[in-house]
Amino acid sequence: MRPRQERLLETTLPRLRFDAARAADPLAAFAPRPHELWLEVGFGGGEHALAQAAAHPAVGVIACEVFVNGLCSLLSRLVPEGGEADAPLPGNLRIWDDDARTLIRALPEACLDRLFLLFPDPWPKARHAKRRFVHPALLPALARVLKPGAEWRIASDDPTYQTWVAEVLAAQDVFQVPPPAATRPAGWPPTRYETKALTAGRRPLYWSLARR
């Protein structure tokens, strides 16, 4: 690991890490206390989470990622070289660097106003399907933490995952599921992965679900 990465993970990350002890009252983890709470699962390079936090200062954003490269990508966008310990950080952004499902199970009922799952790992092999975040076994937990009317945004460029999402969503009744869009809707900040997918000729689909 490079020195810059070490400083970001050892010094900057703890300044933004969402404390599991705050899970019962997640809005208390932000200063000032926000009006809404949004959760992004697997933020990749962090560009989407940062764009949302910057565009919506009255919203608390919890961004989840377990991979070091993704964590360092987001953190390096926030603090300059040498500012890892004291550069100002956004008060409405927190990071969860563990399994997002663990956090979701710890959050209180009906606390989330919006959920993002953008270009997740498709886990293309059939034996790995249980690892997919869009999964019948996880839907009840997601429905529990999302407020009635809350939005869940999903995007994927992988045909196998697109088919899986369509099948899983067709078999449930806790979310309203309009047909997916073939182009990124207004208000969805772009991601680096999406740009790569489009450049490679892959065609993403974009779902916007509503909690019933």
pLDDT tens per residue across span 107-162:
999 999 999 999 999 887 767 678 899 999 999 999 999 999 999 999 999 999 99
Judge contact between 169 and 177, C-beta under 8 A. yes
Q: Which residues are catalytic, by number? A: 121
**What is the per-residue pLDDT for 130?**
82
**What is the per-residue pLDDT for 163?**
95
Judge contact between 158 and 124, C-beta under 8 A. yes
CATH code: domain of residue 30: 3.40.50.150
The number of helices, as runs of H, and strands, as runs of E, in the chain is 8, 7
Q: Which residues pair with 146 in a beta bridge?
A: 112
Scan for tokens 């933490």, then name that residue. Answer: 145
Scan for tokens 């949004």, then name that residue. Answer: 38
**What is the per-residue pLDDT for 1?**
78
Question: In total, how many domains does the chain have?
Answer: 1
**What is the per-residue pLDDT for 128?**
67
Range of the domain at 187: 3-211
Judge contact between 102 and 64, C-beta under 8 A. no
With a cut of 50, which residues of the chain have pLDDT below it? none
Positive/negative CA dihedral, 122, 126, 129, 131: negative
* Omega before 190 within 30 of 0, i.e. cis: no
**What is the per-residue pLDDT for 96?**
98
